[in-house]
Amino acid sequence: MAPKPSLPAVLVLQLQLLLLPGPAPVRSSSPLPLVLNTWPFRNATEAAWKTLALGGSSLDAVEGGCASCEVEQCDGTVGFGGSPDESGETTLDAMLMEGTTMNVGAVGDLRRIKNAIGVARKVLEHTTHTLLVGESATKFAQSMGFVDEDLSTKDSRALHSDWLAQNCQPNYWRNVIPDSSKYCGPYKPRSVFKQDGSIHKETGYGYGHDTIGMVVLDKMGHTAAGTSTNAESETHPYLGQGPTLMTPREPPPPLGTVTY
Ligand X SMILES: *[C@@H]1O[C@H](CO)[C@@H](O)[C@H](O)[C@H]1NC(C)=O
Query: Nearest approach, Cβ of 251 to ligand X (angstroms)?
Result: 37
Closer to ligand X by Cβ: residue 82 or 99: 82
Query: Nearest approach, Cβ of 57 to ligand X (angstroms)?
Result: 23
Closer to ligand X by Cβ: residue 76 or 99: 76
Q: Is 211 a catalytic residue?
A: yes
DSSP string, 120-167: HHHHHHH-S-SEEEHHHHHHHHHHTTPPP-----HHHHHHHHHHHHTT
H or E element in which residue 119 lies: helix 116-126
Closest CA to 217 of 41, 8, 62, 42: 62
Contact between 148 and 77 under an 8 Å Cβ cutoff? The reply is: no
Query: Nearest approach, Cβ of 66 to ligand X (angstroms)?
Result: 14
- Taking the C-alpha atoms of residue 246 and residue 2, their distance in angstroms, rounded to an integer, is 10
Closer to ligand X by Cβ: residue 115 or 223: 115
Assign 241 to helix, strand or coil. Answer: coil
- Taking the C-alpha atoms of residue 119 and residue 113, their distance in angstroms, rounded to an integer, is 9
Closest CA to 77 of 235, 237, 227, 232: 232
Give the per-residue contact string, 23-62, with ligand X (x = CB under 6 A; - = no): --------------------x-------------------
Q: How many angstroms from the chain centroid is the CA of residue 84?
A: 14
| Under rule CB under 6 A, residue 234 binds ligand X | no
Query: Nearest approach, Cβ of 19 to ligand X (angstroms)?
Result: 27
Q: Report 119-158 residues binding ligand X (CB under 6 A).
A: none
Closer to ligand X by Cβ: residue 104 or 214: 214
- Taking the C-alpha atoms of residue 52 and residue 224, their distance in angstroms, rounded to an integer, is 12
Query: Nearest approach, Cβ of 60 to ligand X (angstroms)?
Result: 20
Of 51, 90, 211, 259, which residue is the catalytic one? 211
Ranked by CB distance to ligand X, the top (closest) residue is 43
DSSP string, 49-92: HHHHHTT--HHHHHHHHHHHHHHHTGGGTSSTTSS--TTS--EE
Closer to ligand X by Cβ: residue 78 or 107: 78
> Pick from 12, 72, 100, 181: which binds ligand X (CB under 6 A)?
72
What is the β-pairing status of strands 91-98 and 104-111? antiparallel
Binding-residue total with ligand X (CB under 6 A): 2
Residues that bind ligand X (CB under 6 A): 43, 72
Catalytic positions, please? 211
